């Protein structure tokens, strides 16, 4: 497919993790808060339902953000492409894993993960005023090994389980030495399936900031992403705010 030019990427998400993934990939973008209220945690029946739910929520967020964008200042202004995303966690039996209500709930959730696997699904949607919408849902399997009680209690005491479906963040827990294995794209667990998303963004020839100095051969960016329309009083959703 011939790459298209002249587009600017709008990340319709308040997630700092999503912003960081795009920055590290050298993608120039703007970040906005989508005016979308997450529905109550729905019931899903199996993996296919969960994949469809993640993609549908991502699309709804992208549409709401696109409709809220101000009109272009001039006819020559780059056309926006809005990226919406939603990440959900699912047990092996197909039930959604929500956010822990309190420390005791977080302790129970994480203990139940030990020695088992669960799935993390991130849906993404790309839409624009004149481009064909694109949606996908990527799945990664996460396995947590045996976690000693001291490590669990030390983590719970930090309060970092708050606002996270399943009560944890993958990269943070791996950095802290937790026995976590991932089958699939780790960035899907964090909040954006970069292995599948980057080729799609390349088709639209979205602007690149270039490598960040000091990053060596790894992709990076010096993108400054400001959050517009953030609503800190908004209640947390069932989404994993990775």
Positions marked catalytic: 86
Residue 55 lies in a domain: yes
* CA atoms of 12 and 229, how far apart (whole Å): 11
**Is the pLDDT score of 190 beyond 90?**
no
pLDDT digits (tens, 9 = 90+) for 56-85: 999 999 999 999 998 776 666 788 999 999
Residue 76 lies in a domain: yes
CA angle at residue 101 from 192 to 39, to 5 degrees?
55
**Is the pLDDT score of 86 beyond 50?**
yes
Residue 2 lies in a domain: no
Residue 236 lies in a domain: no
pLDDT band at 241 (very low <50, low <70, confident <90, very high): very low
Beta strand 134-144 with 116-127 is antiparallel
Q: Mean of the pLDDT values across residues 198-215?
A: 67
Residue 39 lies in a domain: yes
Residue 241 lies in a domain: no
Q: What is the pLDDT of residue 199?
A: 93
pLDDT digits (tens, 9 = 90+) for 103-147: 999 999 899 898 889 999 999 999 999 888 999 999 999 999 999
Is residue 50 within 8 Å of residue 99, measured between CB atoms? no
Q: What is the pLDDT of residue 210?
A: 53
* CA atoms of 11 and 65, how far apart (whole Å): 9
**Is the pLDDT score of 237 beyond 70?**
no
Residue 1 lies in a domain: no
Task: Return mean pLDDT, the chain.
Answer: 81
Is residue 58 within 8 Å of residue 5, measured between CB atoms? no
Q: Where are the alpha helices (DSSP H) in 33-102?
A: 47-68
Which is more confidently placed, 3 or 168?
A: 168
Number of domains forming the structure of the chain:
1
What lies within 8 Å, CB to CB, of 108 at 6+ separation is: 100
Residue 157 lies in a domain: yes
Report the CATH number that the domain containing residue 222 is assigned in CATH. 3.90.950.10
pLDDT digits (tens, 9 = 90+) for 35-56: 987 766 667 777 888 899 999 9
The residue range of the domain holding 153 is: 7-228
Is residue 113 within 8 Å of residue 62, measured between CB atoms? no
pTM confidence score: 0.79
């Amino acid at each position: 497919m011939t790459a298209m030019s002249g587009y600017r990427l709008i990340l319709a998400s308040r997630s700092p993790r999503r912003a960081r993934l795009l920055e590290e990939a050298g993608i120039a973008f703007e970040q906005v808060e989508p005016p979308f209220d997450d529905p109550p945690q729905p019931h899903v029946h199996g993996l296919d339902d969960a994949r469809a739910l993640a993609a549908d929520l991502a699309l709804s967020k992208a549409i709401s953000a696109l409709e809220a964008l101000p009109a272009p200042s001039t006819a020559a202004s780059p056309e926006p492409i809005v990226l919406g995303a939603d990440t959900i966690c699912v047990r092996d039996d197909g039930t959604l894993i929500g956010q822990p209500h309190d420390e005791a709930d977080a302790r129970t959730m994480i203990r139940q993960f030990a020695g088992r696997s669960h799935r993390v699904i991130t849906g993404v949607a790309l839409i624009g005023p004149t481009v064909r919408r694109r949606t996908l849902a990527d799945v990664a399997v996460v396995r947590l090994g045996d976690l000693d009680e001291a490590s669990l209690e030390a983590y719970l005491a930090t309060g970092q389980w708050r606002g996270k479906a399943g009560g944890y963040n993958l990269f943070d827990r791996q950095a802290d030495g937790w026995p976590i294995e991932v089958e699939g794209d780790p960035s899907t667990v964090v909040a954006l399936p970069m292995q599948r998303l980057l080729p799609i963004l390349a088709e639209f020839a979205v602007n690149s900031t270039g490598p960040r100095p000091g990053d060596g051969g790894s992709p990076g960016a010096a993108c400054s992403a400001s959050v517009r329309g953030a609503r800190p009083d908004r209640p947390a959703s069932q989404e994993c705010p990775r």
